[in-house]
Copies of this chain bind each other. A is one copy, B any other.
């Protein structure tokens, strides 16, 4: 093993160690940043749920439960909380009255945008000083991770 590949190995270890811890911290500061704004009653999990419900596509309860891997009962409880706090509404689907479509209220949309802006800021900081080809590499790395996740979880 020569000096260069040793150095690369060290970099691998740095990256691996770093990744293990970073996301936890991100989750935490996401929540604390949101609480500094005027959304004081939102947890990181609820933020995640608001993000998943999203701005445009009126997902159903089942879709959201599948995406987040929550049981239907758990999601119902979470949705009750977010509805009570005024971030989401349930809309009964008129074509198929078994289905509930989920939408963000205007308050929910504000929260969504604040959260999204935070992520944008994070990515900007992360990639500051990078040029177009560096960014392409970064994108490639993330796609590789997605592929890996796909393989491991059986696509």
The copy count of this chain in the complex is 2
The 17 sampled A-B contact pairs (Cβ below 8 Å) are A7-B132, A11-B136, A11-B138, A12-B123, A15-B123, A15-B138, A15-B142, A16-B119, A20-B119, A22-B146, A25-B153, A26-B149, A125-B144, A127-B144, A134-B137, A137-B137, A137-B138
A15, A22, A25, A33 interface centre (most CB from chain B within 10 Å)? A15
In the A-B complex, the 4 residue pairs with the closest CB atoms: A125-B148, A23-B23, A18-B142, A16-B123
Residues of B within 8 A of A125 (CB): 144-145, 147-148
Question: Does A128 have its Cβ within 8 Å of any Cβ on chain B?
Answer: yes
Describe A's contact surface by its main secondary structure.
helix
Interface set of A (CB-CB < 8 Å, partner B): 4, 7-8, 11-12, 14-16, 18-20, 22-29, 32-33, 48, 51, 68-69, 116, 119-130, 132, 134-149, 152-153
Residues of B within 8 A of A121 (CB): 148
Quick one: given A12-B124, A20-B51, are A29 and B149 in contact (CB under 8 Å)? yes
